[in-house]
Amino acid sequence: MTTTIYLFRNDLRLADLPGLAAAAANGPVLPVYILDDDAAGDRAHGGASRWWLHHSLRALAADIAAGGGQLVLRSGDTVSCLQELAAVSGAGAIHFSRSYSPWERALETRLRQEFDGGVHLKRFPGVLLHEPESIANQTGEPFKVFTPFWRHCRRQNGPGLPLRTPSGVTWSKPQSSSDSLEDWALLPRNPDWAAHWPKLWTPGTAGARHALEQFLRHRLQRYASGRDHPAENATSRLSPHLRFGEISPREIWHKARELAARNPQQQDQVDKFLSELGWREFSYHLLYHFPTIPEKPFKEQFSDFPWLGNQAQLRAWQRGQTGYPVVDAGMRELWHTGYMHNRIRMVTASFLSKHLLTHWRAGERWFWDTLVDADPASNTCSWQWVAGSGADAAPYFRIFNPVIQGEKFDADGAYVRHWVPEVARLPDRWLHRPWEATDEVLSAAGVVLGDNYPRPLVDHRQAREAALSAYQQIRSG
């Protein structure tokens, strides 16, 4: 029996991995991960993702070692690394899960060309619930609006049952050495800004399953109402686990559905949760069918949008120094934890692209570098959605008012007080609008605007008018 190389990509797990199960059924398996930053180009993992990747690979290597195998790590050109590994191990086949971003698809094309004939190359699903080609509207076109997309997906046969971790895999002994994970220097040093992250996150399949279990047991009941309130911790926090494929969406889907079957009163919560997984699917559907989405506006007319691109304002936004407490809280949560709550992602992204008229790509890049769940589909589609240029985007004139968003979704100020301690002692009434408080109120709370907390970078009303007039230019242009 010849060896099959299993190439891990965005699927760092052993369970529910069709390509691995098929490889294991064929004979010995050589498990390989290749860090190929050149193929990814400017889409190589950002800083926060590299931290996650390091720990996720360590967890995967431990899971493989528990079954007597060794994960082979290589960095460099994927094709050359695989050619060498196939030659040395005498592998007859290479299996992998397909990926959907343009750069990963280009790599798949190269692999097909280079391994033409010799080693049998086989691509499997494993990342999504529905393959993008399998979902189309009545005229055979890709969907561009979420609601009909998801309705259509829900009418399909549900995703098949997840596969178990293949038992008794014969792991092939590597014939050549593996890189050392430490040598890849994926972790930050000098300063180690992620030193406290192991307390926040547990990358790897065990961590992913624990997160899912905790969510289904303790938080699902209040998901629909709580998911918009950043201080409530009502969501699953599964996004980085899904991003790195430590758990399959099929496993999540079936565990949630089983729970609804046992507790029918929770059906609505489960449906709401699954529809959020649906947004992930929709983002991949769009990225696959419209591969320029990471760089170009989905709505053509936004190519001429008169972005301002003020660098000082961009830096103030990145550092959580805009003078709008809810925006600053979000940007600081991101910097300190590698994560930001979904509602606040919308508010901060809207503030950058509409209040500061800074190109959404600058914000998307910052998120790419700082999010542990930085995802080629969800990040780029969501940024375009917020900026108004995306598929199914909210109408441009709906510009979030950061004060009202704060007062509505952080009414008792718990979120802002946690992340923006400078204003924590302000009464609720002024917390989200400190510049409107009297000198006495500010002084009693220890706030000195322009000194220990910034004045607002822009006035909401003026910024709103400027954004609408910029939009008029591309509408009439």
- Is residue 226 within 8 A of residue 234, CB to CB? The reply is yes
- Of these, 95, 280, 359, 433, which contacts ligand FAD (CB under 6 A)? 280
Q: For ligand FAD, what does the binding mask look like between residues 70 and 99, x meaning CB under 6 A?
A: ------------------------------
- Of these, 6, 96, 197, 367, which contacts ligand FAD (CB under 6 A)? 367
Helix (H, G, I), strand (E, B) or coil at 123: strand
- Is residue 59 within 8 A of residue 246, CB to CB? The reply is yes
| Least CB distance to ligand FAD at residue 74 (A) | 26
| Least CB distance to ligand FAD at residue 404 (A) | 17
Q: Does 349 bind ligand FAD (CB under 6 A)?
A: yes
User: In 3D, which of 406, 396, 403 has the Cα closest to residue 466?
Assistant: 396
The C-alpha atoms of residue 232 and residue 234 are separated, in whole angstroms, by 5
| Least CB distance to ligand FAD at residue 100 (A) | 13
Q: Quick one: 3 or 384, whose CB is closer to ligand FAD?
A: 384
Q: Quick one: 23 or 357, whose CB is closer to ligand FAD?
A: 357
Q: For ligand FAD, what does the binding mask look like between residues 377 and 416, x meaning CB under 6 A?
A: -xx--xx--x------------------------------
Q: Return the C-alpha torsion angle 249, 299, 319, 204, nearest 10.
A: 10
C-beta contacts of 158-161 below 8 A and 24+ residues apart: 158/253, 158/257, 159/129, 159/130, 159/249, 159/250, 159/253, 159/254, 160/250, 161/250, 161/254
Residues forming a β-bridge with 35: 75
Q: Quick one: 120 or 152, whose CB is closer to ligand FAD?
A: 152
| Least CB distance to ligand FAD at residue 242 (A) | 4
Q: Does 342 bind ligand FAD (CB under 6 A)?
A: yes
The C-alpha atoms of residue 235 and residue 372 are separated, in whole angstroms, by 16
**Which amino acid is it at 119?**
V
| Least CB distance to ligand FAD at residue 346 (A) | 4
User: In 3D, which of 241, 302, 308 has the Cα closest to residue 277?
Assistant: 241
Q: Does 236 bind ligand FAD (CB under 6 A)?
A: yes
> Where along the sequence are the contacts to ligand FAD (CB under 6 A)?
227, 235-239, 242-243, 276-277, 279-280, 283, 342, 345-346, 349, 367, 371, 373-375, 378-379, 382-383, 386
